[in-house]
C-alpha cells in the first residue's frame, strides 16, 4: 500500500503530494495525520494522508510512513474535498487549507486528552474473602470504611475517581489507598472532555408555537433543495433564532448535524445558552475564548459525533460535522466573517461550497443583509425569505435624531444633547436600563496642538494616538505602543494641547458628572481582556447591577435584555466618513443593530442618535427602519459608480521598512500586472473590463514600523472576471522578487 501525503509545511516549494509506503502493521486512512521522514536528513515531519493506492506513482525512492499521530482520521472526506477548493479559490498551500480544519495545538502534539484516574473493583476481588479478611475473630468489621468503599464499587459499571468516592464517603482516602495496595481496587484511566460550559446549566426549553411568518420561513428552509442558499431577512426581534432552532431540530431528527455561525463578538453565553437549553449536550462551541484544551475537546466531541450542533465563530465553518444538513450564518453581513489571515477566506463563500459538496442547506440570516447578498437574492441566486414584523406585533422602537451642530450653536458643547440627557434621566427614574454606544474606546480620539495643529501620532504607525485617561497615556490602537502626554507641543512649544473627539472612557466620566449616583459598566477592548471579562460584564448588566452599559460595537450585537428601554448612539459619524465605499452600508447596519437592542420585551423602546449629519441616508433611513429604501438607493449608486457587487476590487500589498522600496515595488507591479490583465482579457475582447490599476500609499501608510503601499485593481464583474483575477495571481507568482505581501479580493479592511 502507498499513501499520498501533504507535509505540514506552509511553503509553495513542497506544496504537492509526496508518496510514502504504508507498512503493513500501520493502519491508516485518508484524513489521518502521520509522521513521515522528510528531506535529505529524513527529519520526521507531520503530514496528512490525502489518498491511498496500490500503485507507487513516483520514480523516486519511497520511504515508509513512521507512524500515525492519532488513532482516528482528523479530517473527513468532505473536508479533504473542501480543502482542495480552498487552495484553488484563495491561492494558498494545501497545508494552509488543512491546518485551519484542526485545532491548532494538535499540530506538534501540543495538546493531550485529559484523563482522570478512576477506580473500580478488580475482577479478581471476591466479596466473601474480602469481608473475612477485614473481620475480627468476634465477627466485627475492623475496617468499616473499606467495606463502605467496597460496596459502593461492587457493581459491574461502577468506576469513580478517588475524589468522587471521598465526596460520597467522607474520609475515605486512606481506605481507598489500602484497597489499592491490596489489589482489590484497580486504577483505570478514563478520558474526559473538558467542559467549557461548567457552572452554566440553562433550563430546558420547548419549541414555541410559530407565528405565520416564522412558519413560512421554516417551511422554506425545510423544503429547500440540497446545496441551496436562502437569505432570511428578518428585522431584529422577528424571531429568527427560534426559526433556526426548529430547522436544526428537523435535521437532528433525520440524523443530520448543523453548524451555526455567529460573529465572535456575539458568541455570548446568552447565545449559547439558548441553543443548549433546546438541544442540551449535543451542542458544542468553538470560539477564541476557549482554552486550548477546551477547544481540542469540543472539536473531538464533534469529530466523534457526541455533539451534532456546533455554535461558533468564523472558523467553525470547518467543524468536522458529518452528515451535515444545515449551515446557518447569523448576521451574515458582518465583516468578521472574512478571514484576514492566510487563507483569506470568506466564511459565507466557504459555507456555500461546503453546502454544495455535502448537500446541506445554507441559511444566511440578517436584519440588514449585505448589499451583495440582497442583490443576489433579488436576482434569484438565493431564495429570499422575509420576516418584516417583530414578535407579538411589538412596534419597532422610536428613533430620534439629534443634530449636534445646533446643540453646539445653542451653547451645549458637552457630549450629551438635551434629549439624550432627559432620556437617561427618565430611564433612571423608572428603574430601567440603557445602552450607550460609541465606536471608539479610550478617552479622546486624538490629541492636537491648538496653536499649530500638530497631531500626536504613533512613531511606528501613521495614525493618531488615543488618549487613555486612567493611566494618562497615549496609545496606538494598531501596534499597542504608548507614550506620555507632553504638556508642551513638541512641534511649536506652545502649551495649548487639546483633546479632541471622544471615547468610551469620557462618556462614562461625563455620565457620572451628570448623574452622580448612576451605576455604569463599560465594555470595550480595554475592559474585556480576561477570559471571562466579556461574559461577566454582560451577566452583571443582565442581573440589573448597572443602569447603563457603555461600549463600542461589542454592545451592538445579539444582546436581548428585556429591561433595556433606551439606546443612545453618542456619535454616529465615527463610522460614517471612512475612506471606504462601504462606510454608509456599515453605518446603516451598525445603527440598525444597535437600535434593535431597545425595547425587546413588553416595554416600549426608544433610540436617540446624535450626529452632525442628520440628513445622511444611512441615518435618516435607519430612523424609519427602512432597509429596502436604503438598499434601493445604495445599490443604484453602486451601479452608477461601478462598485461591488458590480465590480471587484483586488488589492496587492507591498510592505517594507524602507519606504522607497515599498513604493517602487508597487509601481513596478502596477505596470506589469496591467499588461498581464490586458493580455488575459484581450483574448476575449474584454479589455474594457479593467476599470483601473492604481498604485499608491495605503490609507495607513506606516504600521508597526513598516511602510505600506498597495496596488488597487478594479474590474467590472462579468463572465471574464475570474480569468482576470487568475492572471493577477499568476503574475504575482511569477515575480516572487517583488515580495508582494498578499492579494486580497474585495478586502474588508482597505486600510
Number of shown-chain residues binding ligand ADP (CB under 6 A): 15
The answer to whether 460 contacts Zn ion (rule: CB under 5 A) is: yes
Closest to 316 (Cα-Cα) out of 400, 258, 366 = 258
Give the per-residue contact string, 533-572, with ligand ADP (x = CB under 6 A; - = no). Answer: ---------------------------x------------
Contact residues for 66 (Cβ-Cβ < 8 A; gap 6+):
34, 35, 36, 37, 44
The answer to whether 234 contacts ligand ADP (rule: CB under 6 A) is: yes
Between 237 and 269, CB nearer to ligand ADP: 237
The answer to whether 479 contacts Zn ion (rule: CB under 5 A) is: yes
Q: How do beta strands 18-21 and 63-64 pair?
A: parallel
Output the smallest distance, CB 208 to ligand ADP, in A: 4
Cα distance between residue 703 and residue 700, in whole Å = 7
Between 148 and 706, CB nearer to Zn ion: 706
Cα distance between residue 450 and residue 494, in whole Å = 9
The answer to whether 273 contacts ligand ADP (rule: CB under 6 A) is: no
The answer to whether 208 contacts ligand ADP (rule: CB under 6 A) is: yes
How many CB atoms are closer than 10 A to CB 508?
19
Number of shown-chain residues binding Zn ion (CB under 5 A): 14
Between 444 and 593, CB nearer to Zn ion: 444
How many CB atoms are closer than 10 A to CB 179?
24
Cα distance between residue 212 and residue 220, in whole Å = 12
How many CB atoms are closer than 10 A to CB 398?
14
- Which listed range, 63-71, 193-201, 231-239, 568-576, lies at the site for ligand ADP (CB under 6 A)? 231-239
The answer to whether 237 contacts ligand ADP (rule: CB under 6 A) is: yes
Between 171 and 209, CB nearer to ligand ADP: 209
Q: Which of 239, 568, 605, 747 binds ligand ADP (CB under 6 A)?
A: 239
Closest to 134 (Cα-Cα) out of 126, 474, 349, 696 = 126
Which of the residues 388 through 407 are near ligand ADP (CB under 6 A)? 391
Output the smallest distance, CB 495 to ligand ADP, in A: 51
- Peptide bond preceding 343 in cis form (omega within 30 of 0): yes
How many CB atoms are closer than 10 A to CB 516?
6
Tell me if 201 sits within 8 A of 184, measured CB to CB: no
How many CB atoms are closer than 10 A to CB 667?
15
Q: Which of 214, 266, 527, 592 binds ligand ADP (CB under 6 A)?
A: 214
399 DSSP β-pair partners:
607
DSSP designation for 485: P
Output the smallest distance, CB 478 to Zn ion, in A: 5
Output the smallest distance, CB 210 to ligand ADP, in A: 5
Q: Which of 85, 152, 335, 478 binds Zn ion (CB under 5 A)?
A: 478
Output the smallest distance, CB 244 to ligand ADP, in A: 8
Between 208 and 642, CB nearer to ligand ADP: 208
DSSP designation for 306: S
Closest to 650 (Cα-Cα) out of 671, 682, 673, 631 = 673
- Which listed range, 125-133, 380-388, 446-454, 574-582, lies at the site for Zn ion (CB under 5 A)? 446-454
Q: Which one of ligand ADP, Zn ion, none interacts with residue 237, CB within 5 to 8 A by kind? A: ligand ADP
The answer to whether 241 contacts ligand ADP (rule: CB under 6 A) is: yes
Closest to 228 (Cα-Cα) out of 367, 327, 346 = 327
Contact residues for 345 (Cβ-Cβ < 8 A; gap 6+):
86, 89, 90, 338, 339
DSSP string across 718-732: STTHHHHHHHHHHHH
The answer to whether 452 contacts Zn ion (rule: CB under 5 A) is: yes
Q: Which of 121, 211, 283, 732 binds ligand ADP (CB under 6 A)?
A: 211
Between 241 and 552, CB nearer to ligand ADP: 241
Q: Under the rule (CB under 6 A), what is the footprint of ligand ADP?
A: 208-211, 214, 234, 236-242, 391, 560
Q: Under the rule (CB under 5 A), what is the footprint of Zn ion?
A: 449, 451-452, 454, 458, 460-461, 476, 478-479, 481, 489, 491-492
Amino acid at each position: 500500500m502507498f499513501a499520498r501525503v501533504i507535509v505540514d509545511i506552509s511553503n509553495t516549494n513542497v506544496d504537492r503530494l509526496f508518496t510514502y509506503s504504508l507498512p503493513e502493521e500501520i493502519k491508516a486512512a485518508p484524513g489521518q495525520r502521520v509522521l513521515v521522514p522528510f528531506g535529505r536528513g529524513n527529519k520526521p515531519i507531520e503530514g496528512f494522508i490525502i489518498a491511498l493506492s496500490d500503485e507507487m506513482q513516483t520514480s523516486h525512492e519511497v520511504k515508509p510512513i513512521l507512524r500515525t499521530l492519532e488513532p482516528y482520521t482528523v479530517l473527513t472526506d468532505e473536508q479533504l474535498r473542501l480543502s482542495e477548493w480552498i487552495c484553488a479559490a484563495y491561492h494558498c498551500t494545501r497545508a494552509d487549507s488543512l491546518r485551519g480544519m484542526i485545532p491548532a495545538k494538535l499540530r506538534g502534539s501540543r495538546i493531550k486528552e485529559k484523563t482522570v484516574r478512576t477506580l473500580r473493583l478488580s475482577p479478581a476481588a471476591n466479596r466473601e474473602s474480602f469481608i473475612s479478611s477485614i473481620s475480627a475473630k468476634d465477627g466485627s468489621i475492623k475496617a468499616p470504611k473499606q467495606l463502605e468503599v467496597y460496596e459502593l464499587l461492587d457493581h459491574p459499571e461502577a468506576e469513580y475517581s478517588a475524589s468522587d468516592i471521598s465526596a460520597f464517603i467522607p474520609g475515605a482516602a486512606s481506605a481507598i489507598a489500602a484497597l489499592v495496595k491490596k489489589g482489590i481496587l484497580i486504577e483505570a484511566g478514563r478520558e474526559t472532555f473538558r467542559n467549557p460550559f461548567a457552572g452554566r446549566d440553562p433550563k430546558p426549553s420547548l419549541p414555541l408555537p410559530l407565528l405565520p411568518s416564522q412558519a413560512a420561513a421554516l417551511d422554506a428552509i425545510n423544503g429547500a433543495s440540497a446545496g441551496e442558499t436562502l437569505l432570511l431577512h428578518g428585522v431584529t426581534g422577528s424571531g429568527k433564532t427560534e426559526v433556526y432552532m426548529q430547522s436544526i431540530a428537523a435535521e437532528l431528527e433525520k440524523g443530520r448535524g448543523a453548524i451555526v455561525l455567529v460573529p465572535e463578538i456575539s458568541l455570548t453565553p446568552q447565545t449559547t445558552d439558548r441553543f443548549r437549553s433546546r438541544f442540551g449536550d449535543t451542542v458544542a462551541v468553538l470560539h477564541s475564548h476557549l482554552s486550548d484544551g477546551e477547544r481540542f475537546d469540543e472539536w473531538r466531541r464533534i469529530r466523534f459525533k457526541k455533539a451534532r450542533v456546533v455554535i461558533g465563530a468564523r472558523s467553525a465553518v470547518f467543524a468536522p460535522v458529518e452528515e451535515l444538513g444545515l449551515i446557518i450564518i447569523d448576521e451574515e453581513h458582518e465583516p468578521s466573517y472574512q478571514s484576514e489571515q492566510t487563507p483569506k477566506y470568506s466564511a459565507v463563500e466557504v459555507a456555500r461550497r461546503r453546502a454544495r459538496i455535502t448537500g446541506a442547506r445554507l441559511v444566511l440570516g440578517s436584519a440588514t443583509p449585505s448589499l451583495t447578498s440582497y442583490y443576489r437574492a433579488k436576482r434569484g441566486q438565493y431564495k429570499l425569505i422575509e420576516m418584516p414584523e417583530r414578535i407579538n406585533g411589538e412596534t419597532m422602537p422610536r428613533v430620534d435624531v439629534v443634530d449636534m451642530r445646533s446643540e453646539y450653536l445653542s451653547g451645549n458643547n458637552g457630549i450629551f444633547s438635551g434629549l439624550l440627557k432627559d432620556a437617561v434621566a427618565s430611564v433612571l427614574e423608572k428603574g430601567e436600563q440603557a445602552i450607550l454606544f460609541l465606536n471608539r474606546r479610550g478617552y479622546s480620539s486624538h490629541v492636537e496642538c491648538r496653536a499649530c495643529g500638530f497631531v500626536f501620532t504613533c512613531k511606528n504607525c501613521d495614525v493618531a494616538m488615543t488618549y487613555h485617561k486612567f493611566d494618562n497615556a497615549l496609545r496606538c490602537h494598531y501596534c499597542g505602543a504608548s507614550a506620555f502626554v507632553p504638556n508642551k507641543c513638541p512641534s511649536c512649544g506652545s502649551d495649548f494641547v487639546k483633546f479632541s473627539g471622544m471615547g468610551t472612557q469620557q462618556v462614562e466620566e461625563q455620565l457620572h458628572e451628570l448623574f452622580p449616583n448612576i451605576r455604569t459598566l463599560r465594555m470595550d477592548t480595554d475592559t474585556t481582556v480576561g477570559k471571562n471579562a466579556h461574559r461577566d460584564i454582560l451577566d452583571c448588566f443582565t442581573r440589573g447591577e448597572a443602569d447603563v452599559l457603555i461600549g463600542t460595537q461589542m454592545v451592538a450585537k445579539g444582546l436581548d435584555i428585556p429591561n433595556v428601554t433606551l439606546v443612545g448612539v453618542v456619535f454616529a459619524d465615527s463610522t460614517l466618513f471612512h475612506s471606504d465605499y462601504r462606510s454608509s452600508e456599515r453605518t446603516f447596519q451598525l445603527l440598525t443593530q444597535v437600535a434593535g437592542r431597545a425595547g425587546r420585551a413588553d416595554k416600549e423602546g426608544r433610540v436617540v442618535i446624535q450626529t452632525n449629519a442628520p440628513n445622511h441616508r444611512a441615518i435618516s433611513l435607519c430612523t424609519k427602519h427602512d432597509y429596502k429604501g436604503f438598499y434601493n438607493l445604495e445599490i443604484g449608486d453602486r451601479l452608477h459608480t461601478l462598485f461591488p457587487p458590480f465590480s471587484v476590487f483586488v488589492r496587492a500589498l507591498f510592505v517594507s521598512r524602507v519606504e522607497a522600496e515599498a513604493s517602487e515595488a508597487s509601481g513596478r507591479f502596477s505596470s506589469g500586472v496591467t499588461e498581464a490583465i490586458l493580455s488575459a482579457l484581450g483574448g476575449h475582447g474584454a479589455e474594457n473590463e479593467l476599470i483601473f490599476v492604481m498604485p499608491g500609499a495605503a490609507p495607513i501608510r506606516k504600521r508597526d514600523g513598516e511602510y505600506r503601499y498597495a496596488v488597487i485593481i478594479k474590474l467590472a464583474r462579468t463572465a471574464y472576471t475570474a480569468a482576470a483575477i487568475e492572471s493577477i495571481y499568476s503574475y504575482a507568482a511569477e515575480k516572487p522578487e517583488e515580495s508582494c505581501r498578499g492579494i486580497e479580493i474585495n478586502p474588508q479592511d482597505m486600510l
